[in-house]
Structure 1
Amino acid sequence: MGGVFVSGERMGYDAVRIDELEGREAVRKRPGMWVGSTGERGLHEMVLQVVGWSVNRALAGAGESSVDVTLTHDSGVRVVGNGPDGPFATDANTGGRGLEALLTRRSADERDGRHLAHVSHGGDTGLFVANALSSRLTAEEQRGETCRVQEYARGVAATLPAATESLAATKTIIAFWPDTEIFETTRCSFAMLAERFRQVAFLNRGLGISLTDERPAGGARAVSFRFPDGVRDFVAALDAETGAVLHPDIIGFEREDSRMAGTMEVAMLWSGSGQEQIRSFANSRATRQGGTHVDGFRDGVRAAVTAYARERGLLAADDDPSADRITKGLTAVVSVKLDRPEYLGATHELLGNTDVRGCVRQAVREHLGNWLEEQSEHATQVVDPILRNTHQD
């Protein structure tokens, strides 16, 4: 399905001209529809779309998942990821989608019911968009002793798939050079990409992701990330920035819930900073405006703390502390991965899935409630300041 351009030069429905653009020309004619802009922001979006596809491929594999990104000296980007065996060409007999289809057809979809990591806003069209907006792209699949390579120019195959020798590795390599006819700049920001990749590694436990920059005259620079404890490590890193530890325990859990068709991963820690810091994500993409997962988290925290305090006679029946008071000083990460995330607003920064709120609320109440019961000394450190603040109000 192509993009739609509407021009209303004269008033009236019958005067509206609808110009349907198909295939790669739709992307090249309206690049802002696909990557947001033709400036640095759009350039980074295109890179993240390719990296996002590689991350999902790597996470789908059975072994240790890794993605390695290189900014080459000639303004190219090389993305290397491991993942399960897959065909290069589409199999007409089985209907299996190959790499060629993902590079040349916008309708190609790798979802298959999995909770994808949305590293970018591009969804499942990342390879197609990157191919169309690159002056040159090379795709390489290494599977055992077989290696298939094909080159493209501005989205069109420039060579037939060629077989070459392989090092018996299992990896997919996408190298592309953003088109200077499209983008105002083809120079990526190492710092911006490094910070985004660090975040993606936090949100996908065990994923290894690296970034190498070959462009500096003084020699290459590189960073790499892998966090075996996922969002627990994320909370520890955020709390270290506050420098005000209240207790050492990070409360965290992961749960799959069919009612919301997805999984949740939550970690939290009360610090002595007095500042609330809740970071939320849906399919590895930041939801800066929050949404139903954050509402459910706050509901669950309030319910667990209130129930604990009342059971011990620390809170009168008519006292009902607000969620803002209870989460004061709380550092938390709330991450959900959904089969079909629904967002409110054009920026995709507010999650709207209605089932998520109740599921997250129930899980947070149970896990935090159990922690309060089992860790009485630390529970006192958490609850006492909350009750003091409530009484002062």
Structure 2
Amino acid sequence: MNRRQLFYAGLIASFALSALAHYLHWNQMFLFAVSAISVVFVAGFLGQATESVAHYAGQRLGGFLNATFGNAAELIIAIFLVKAGSFETVKASLTGSIIGNLLLVLGLSIFLGGLKFKEQRYNVQLANHNSTLMILAIVALFIPATFVSAEHFTFRKDQILSITVAIILIVSYLLWLVFSMITHKDMLSDMEDKAEAQAGEHHEEPLWTLKRSVLYLVLATVMVAFVSEWLVGTLHSVSARFGLSELFIGAFVVAIVGNAAEHSAAIMLAMKNKIGAAVEIAVGSSLQIALFVAPVLVLISGFFGPTMDIVFTPIELAAIAVSVFIAKAVASDGRTNWYEGFLLIMVYIILGFAFFLV
């Protein structure tokens, strides 16, 4: 068996074993272990499908699809948590997703890509727009927390403000997609895509046809959703056994699991010198969480009972603000190297220790 056949054998075996452990109610620690292994394989499968789609659609659209499909799995998990009324866990996991993508995913991608290539470049105009949108996300999350706390808003005013901000953020994100994917697509397209278009060729052949690539992308997303749900179901047992706080579990463990697809895909693309797609996955996924997923969860929660507010704790806001600040400083010039990736990872470790001690 060659390496690819071994990979697919591991993918099928780990997924099947995770399903058996979940539905037959085997030991929770065993389920956690096999589900974690399965997530790695499924994330790799999703990364391959994304790369194949990116060959046909371009790095930016390919990265956007990866971020969207990866966040779809996380959105499904969050909806179940919202339905159960676990609002604080949901917000902690959203915080973890934002900082995880901006620091861990982007950091590892830049670091490992930088070890192979001395300097990697991508569209500087896209970098500036991403930086502006990240600041918008901070403003949108900071204002409700400040006003609700300082003015002692009633529950009704809190809900009105949260719903209003949620709608504004969703509209802003949808218009950003129109701006970046339609009206100003050429201005924001990746440099490698432009070079390949001018040359009329691609450096590598895709793994599959376009139809099969899209099919596998959907299939991999469904598999990620199932495995992530099984793994999240074991977290209470794991946290009780190892004495981990719910905040740490939500912000780091759940977030890392939920973002496994983005982790592998972004790193794999960066190591192939496709840093534009890697940045689109990492930064684009964080923006999608802050500007779309979180607001959508606020609106969806109203169908299950009390509306979840968009008020994050000072700790969560501080973590997001720090992540945005360092990510903006690193990514805004459109050029990256391994040391900048190292700095992002160090900030993530600092926040991880701080959350662990809460």
TM-score (norm 1): 0.20
Q: Which has the higher helix share?
A: 2
Q: Which has the higher strand share?
A: 1
| Higher Rg of the two aligned structures | 1
TM-score (norm 2): 0.22
State the structure with bigger RCO (CA 8 A, min sep 6), 1 or 2: 2
